[in-house]
Structure 1
Amino acid sequence: MARMKFICDSERCIECNSCVTACKAEHEVPWGVNRRRVVTLNDGLPGEKSISVACMHCSDAPCMAVCPVDCFYRTDEGVVLHDKDVCIGCGYCSYACPFGAPQFPSNGTFGLRGKMDKCTFCAGGPEEHGSQAEYEKYGRNRLAEGKLPACAEMCSTKALLGGDGDVVADIFRNRVLVRGKGSEVWGWGTAYGKPSESGIGQPKPGTGKS
């Protein structure tokens, strides 16, 4: 059985927000809720990177651990979903999630907390697949239609990958190898430059030793 996961390649993300727009359009996400968002690190500085963030459907999801009414459940494909009929809007999940995935609708001047909403990996909810009730509460169930999440399919640079975890991991691994960035990315070469550039590791004149 496939185990669904997201991977975002920060080397390819151009902060176009097409993933955010695709999600909103596909599921008619309510105002004030962003199931997916693009986060930019070191904005305007050297090393600036952008990454698309949503629910990562964790294997050991902290939101499931803290929910007092157990509204979360995991599908056979590893997708973490929730039951809005059970949710009481306490907000514990929003504090526990390291990715800021749980969202609450904002209505009125000072906001109003209601039923929690989050990325469903385009897998719908507990209602009958393809039903109007499922669509109104959770959006379109693309997985039941044999399709991948809309955000991943609409990514203009294919930075966002979604699907079988083993498959997307292989795709990302191949990209890293082609780019020439393997195990040395966070190693000695990154910190001090390559031996040919810094002289580190080069033989000392007249000794033949480093």
Structure 2
Amino acid sequence: MTETIATPETDDLARHASKMAKKKAARDKIMAGKEGEKGMIIVHTGAGKGKSSSGFGMILRCVAHGMPCAVVQFIKGAWDTGERRLLTTHFSDLCQFHAMGEGFTWETQDKARDIAAAKAGWEKAKELIRDPAIRMVLLDEINIALRYDYLDLSEVLAFLAEEKPPLTHVVLTGRNAAEGLIEAADLVTEMTLIKHPFRSGIKAQVGVEF
């Protein structure tokens, strides 16, 4: 029998294996206490980039799993984005796409029009969320509509609490998410701004921003 001679390298590998085995046992114990499925309320907020991008990443996961889903855009409706092109051109059978916004408020310069667009978007969102066959609904930039009081926060929260089907996920994106929405959510992620090219005079780039 060949005797294994301990070396600093083999000792390090043994310590690593022991550490990972303990970590796996602890993880398995935690996972053993998790069961069932739940439709989550998910919020992406913060000043950093990536809120909508992350939401669309979840939508594409749903598409990949053959799960019906839907998107309602509250602000960027007039934009020709890559996400919109991809979903409407190739996956319209699985993902409904409703661009209800008309641009940012400084572009429309018409508060009544912005409020009407936001309310129309919310009515469409409620219709989609009520359908139990749709497993995820992305409400892109709805937090902005809520921040400007174009929509009633208490109405949105009441609807999500009372009418959202148990297995439906709802993703709400946009800066300055309301505290009440954060409290009601199951998953909240805040995107932190560290550096952005716009501040250096670089405009939005195709494939990065839209």
Q: Report the TM-score when normalising by structure 1.
A: 0.24
Q: By percentage of residues, which structure has more helix?
A: 2
Q: Which has the higher contact order (CA 8 A, sep 6+)?
A: 2
Q: Report the TM-score when normalising by structure 2.
A: 0.24
